[in-house]
């Protein structure tokens, strides 16, 4: 498939060359293109072309009528991963060949960020297998069905046949994925026992469900029916009844011959692996685990903060935020004399803050989330100049995985605009969605949080592709948490209980600093971390258990939110102090957003440059 894409690209380049565009040919084929942006974009495109699933997610080839990649799944073999690690030094040398003096200000920043990522990748190679790629939150076992449901679009017979083709490759990809799992086992990198139990339960339920009720069958059936309805409204036909019946019969065949055997392969392996697992949960238990954890903290926070510093900062922030919450509750007539936990439990027990535990109640939650997002989107002109072109929709997290999924997450829009940004809400436990917490969650995942930051970054013209999709969690999650506070500052949470919801969300991220470092550095048990989080957040137990188990399989990631928010607020405060009356909030947000995701130190430099230019 990749060869076909390169063939199509080659034909396009040939046309340009024949038209006299020797410059474009040079930029694609030369060891050193004239433009730095051409080099890094070309590298990103080549990597994307090597991943048909990435191409589907990006969604830009479909607008050109190119769909062949949608018939393939990625190569998940260890040999393929080796190729990527071997490529990194070559890419770094290619980036370094451009002298700083020859680069524009924007390109110089791009070079700095590229080298930051490449140097980190080199440093992290020693910890290549320090992870649990199949766990209760993510991995091929739940990622594949989600990918097919959310990303693989079906509008034509070709799309449906590509869907079937991908189902036929599932056993191959699972078999390849098993290679790296066995290497981890040999190295003593084995998930905690509860992780294996969760994964086994999930996979056994997946294969036990009747095929015509499985998400892979139901999703394709729904997509074909919608495509047929859309086509019939314009007098056309996307599928005949016979074609739809044949496609669904093919799904059943591939479920029996490829998909279910692939899952059984994993079930058999993890049942055997469980015998070697333990109940120790932190990274400290792994070979060279302390160094591996320090490495993850550096990546996720883009700082050199130690685990002890992060832990102590978290304890301080927890105390501050709890005091603010108690003040609000006291003003609203709550008894706060017994401390934080009893006051929060009283708040949680008030049934007026919850929706009915019914299908209708859950649908009302989705509808109300959309209203919240539409409302704030209409009222942000005084705080933002830049707005994303992509729309924003709310969907429920698929029921098959919501039990162990996080409370919510955001999915980026397609580059070509064919798919809007998506805010996925977890509705498994109705008590996990109190009305006073909904605004904050919508602002975080949607507007002006992840949707603004990610969609604006993707739509930014002039930035290299890697900067439009950079993986800097401290920036992206820091921005989303900062967005919660901005919404409050702008008056969108003027109800005292909505403000309690905002502070609870910030408290949640402060507690994360404590428990993540507690588990992986201070050797806290899963149970001790759950108890601490329950007592200090007021969150439902189902959410707390899910969160703690998330931190165990994603060490360091949870610290990025609060570290990023605090740094953005610090940068804003410094800009205000220097600019005084000249400080302009929309301009500040423009500066922060228009450069894409960056390391926090780089963000500080960007804002300093803006401040100095404005002063001069």
Give the DSSP H/E element, type plus range, for residue 395.
strand 392-396
Q: Which residue has the higher pLDDT, 266 or 66?
A: 266
Q: Is the pTM of this model over 0.85?
A: no
Average pLDDT, the chain: 91
Q: What is the pLDDT of residues 355-373, one digit of tens each?
A: 999 999 999 999 999 999 9
What per-residue confidence (pLDDT) applies to 373?
Answer: 94
Q: For residues 616 and 604, give the distance between their C-alpha atoms in angstroms, rounded to a whole number.
A: 18
CA neighbor of 380 nearest in space, from 392, 367, 394: 392
Whether 111 and 206 have beta carbons less than 8 Å apart is answered as no
Q: For residues 56 and 67, give the distance between their C-alpha atoms in angstroms, rounded to a whole number.
A: 9
Whether 223 and 153 have beta carbons less than 8 Å apart is answered as yes
Can you tell me the mean pLDDT for 148-157?
A: 94
What per-residue confidence (pLDDT) applies to 465?
Answer: 79
pLDDT at 19 over 60: no
Whether 330 and 340 have beta carbons less than 8 Å apart is answered as no
Can you tell me the mean pLDDT for 430-451?
A: 93
Can you tell me the mean pLDDT for 567-580?
A: 97
CA neighbor of 63 nearest in space, from 593, 424, 540, 417: 417
Least confident range of 197-211, 355-369, 534-548, 565-579: 534-548
pLDDT at 382 over 70: yes
Give the DSSP H/E element, type plus range, for residue 392.
strand 392-396
Give me the long-range contacts of 312-316 (CB less than 8 A, separation at least 24): 313/513, 313/562, 314/510, 314/511, 314/512, 314/513, 314/514, 314/517, 314/562, 315/514
> What φ, ψ does residue 491 adopt, rounded to 5°?
95, 15
Least confident range of 78-87, 264-273, 537-546: 537-546
As beta bridge partners, residue 423 has: 394, 410
What is the DSSP code (8-state) at residue 33?
Answer: -
Q: What is the pLDDT of residues 507-518, one digit of tens each?
A: 999 999 999 999
Whether 70 and 121 have beta carbons less than 8 Å apart is answered as no
What per-residue confidence (pLDDT) applies to 11?
Answer: 37
Q: For residues 152 and 220, give the distance between their C-alpha atoms in angstroms, rounded to a whole number.
A: 9
> What φ, ψ does residue 549 adopt, rounded to 5°?
-70, -30
Question: Collapsing DSSP states into helix, strand and coil, what is residue 127?
Answer: helix
CA neighbor of 512 nearest in space, from 550, 566, 471: 550
Q: What is the pLDDT of residues 89-125, one digit of tens each?
A: 999 999 999 999 999 998 999 999 999 999 999 999 9
Helix, strand, coil content of the chain in percent (nearest 5): 70, 0, 25
- Residue with structure tokens 């832990």? 311
- Output the six-digit token pair for 210: 């009747």
Give me the long-range contacts of 393-396 (CB less than 8 A, separation at least 24): 393/420, 393/421, 393/422, 393/423, 394/366, 394/369, 394/370, 394/422, 394/423, 394/424, 394/425, 394/442, 394/446, 395/366, 395/422, 395/423, 395/424, 395/425, 396/362, 396/366, 396/424, 396/425, 396/426, 396/427
Q: For residues 335 and 323, give the distance between their C-alpha atoms in angstroms, rounded to a whole number.
A: 14
pLDDT at 21 over 90: no
Q: For residues 225 and 219, give the distance between their C-alpha atoms in angstroms, rounded to a whole number.
A: 10
- The bridge status of strand 421-425 relative to strand 408-411 is antiparallel
Q: Which residue has the higher pLDDT, 237 or 552?
A: 552
Give the DSSP H/E element, type plus range, for residue 496.
helix 496-520
CA neighbor of 552 nearest in space, from 513, 508, 519: 519
Q: For residues 69 and 165, give the distance between their C-alpha atoms in angstroms, rounded to a whole number.
A: 11
CB atoms within 10 A of CB 409: 14
**Buried-exposed string 125-164: b where 16+ CB fall within 10 A, e elsewhere:** eebebbbbbbbbbbbbbbebbbbbbbbbbbbebebbbbbb
- Output the six-digit token pair for 433: 């969605």
- Output the six-digit token pair for 223: 């997509």
CA neighbor of 420 nearest in space, from 467, 370, 379, 383: 370
Q: Which residue has the higher pLDDT, 238 or 15?
A: 238
Whether 575 and 607 have beta carbons less than 8 Å apart is answered as yes
């Amino acid at each position: 498939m990749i060869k076909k894409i390169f063939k199509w690209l080659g034909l396009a380049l040939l046309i340009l060359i024949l038209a006299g565009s020797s410059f474009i040919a040079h930029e694609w084929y030369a060891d050193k293109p004239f433009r730095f942006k051409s080099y890094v974009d070309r590298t990103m495109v080549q990597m994307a072309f090597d991943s048909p699933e990435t191409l589907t997610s990006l969604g830009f080839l479909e607008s050109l009528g190119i769909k062949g990649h949608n018939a393939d799944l990625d190569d998940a073999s260890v040999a393929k991963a080796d190729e990527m690690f071997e490529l990194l030094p070559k890419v770094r040398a290619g980036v370094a060949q451009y002298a700083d003096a020859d680069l524009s200000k924007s390109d110089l920043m791009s070079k700095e960020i590229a080298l930051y990522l490449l140097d980190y990748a080199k440093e992290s190679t020693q910890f290549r297998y320090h992870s649990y790629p199949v766990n209760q939150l993510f991995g091929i076992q739940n990622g594949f069905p989600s990918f097919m449901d959310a990303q693989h679009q079906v509008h034509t017979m070709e799309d449906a046949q590509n869907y079937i083709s991908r189902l036929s490759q599932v056993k191959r990809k699972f078999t390849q994925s098993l290679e790296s799992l066995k290497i981890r086992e040999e190295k003593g990198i084995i998930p905690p026992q509860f992780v294996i139990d969760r994964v086994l339960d999930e996979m056994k339920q997946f294969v036990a469900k009747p095929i015509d009720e499985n998400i892979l069958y139901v999703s394709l059936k729904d997509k074909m029916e919608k495509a047929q309805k859309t086509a019939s409204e314009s007098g056309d036909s996307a599928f005949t009844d016979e074609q739809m019946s044949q496609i669904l019969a093919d799904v059943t065949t591939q479920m029996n011959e490829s998909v279910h055997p692939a899952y059984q392969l994993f079930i058999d392996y993890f049942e055997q692996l469980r015998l070697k697992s333990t109940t120790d949960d932190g990274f400290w238990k792994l070979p060279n685990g302390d160094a591996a954890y320090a490495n993850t903290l550096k990546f996720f926070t883009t700082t050199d903060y130690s685990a002890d510093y992060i832990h102590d900062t978290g304890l301080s922030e927890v105390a501050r935020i709890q005091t603010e919450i108690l003040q609000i509750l006291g003003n609203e007539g709550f008894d706060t004399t017994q401390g934080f936990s009893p006051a929060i439990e009283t708040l949680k027990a008030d049934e007026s803050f919850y929706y009915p535990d019914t299908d209708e109640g859950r649908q009302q939650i989705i509808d109300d989330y959309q209203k919240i997002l539409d409302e704030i989107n209409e009222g942000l002109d005084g705080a933002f100049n830049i707005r994303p072109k992509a729309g924003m929709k709310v969907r429920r997290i698929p029921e098959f995985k919501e039990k162990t999924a996080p409370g919510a997450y955001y999915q980026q829009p397609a580059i070509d605009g064919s798919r809007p940004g998506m805010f996925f809400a977890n509705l498994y436990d109705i008590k996990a969605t109190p009305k006073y917490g909904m605004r904050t969650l919508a602002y975080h995942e949607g507007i002006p949080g992840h949707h603004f930051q990610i969609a604006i970054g993707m739509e930014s013209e002039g930035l290299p592709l890697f900067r439009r999709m950079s993986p800097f969690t401290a920036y992206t999650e820091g921005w989303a948490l900062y967005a919660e506070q901005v919404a409050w500052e702008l008056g969108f949470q003027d109800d005292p209980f909505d403000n309690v919801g905002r502070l609870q969300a910030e408290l949640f991220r402060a507690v994360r600093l404590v428990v993540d470092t507690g588990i992986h550095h201070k050797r806290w048990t899963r149970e001790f971390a759950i108890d601490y989080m329950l007592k200090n957040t007021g969150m439902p137990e189902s959410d707390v258990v899910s969160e703690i188990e998330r931190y165990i399989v994603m060490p360091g990631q949870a610290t990025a939110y609060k570290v990023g928010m605090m740094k953005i607020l610090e940068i804003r405060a410094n800009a205000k102090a220097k600019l005084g009356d000249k400080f302009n909030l929309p301009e500040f947000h423009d500066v922060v957003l228009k450069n894409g995701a960056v390391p926090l130190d780089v963000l500080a430099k960007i804002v300093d440059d803006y401040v100095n230019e404005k002063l001069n």
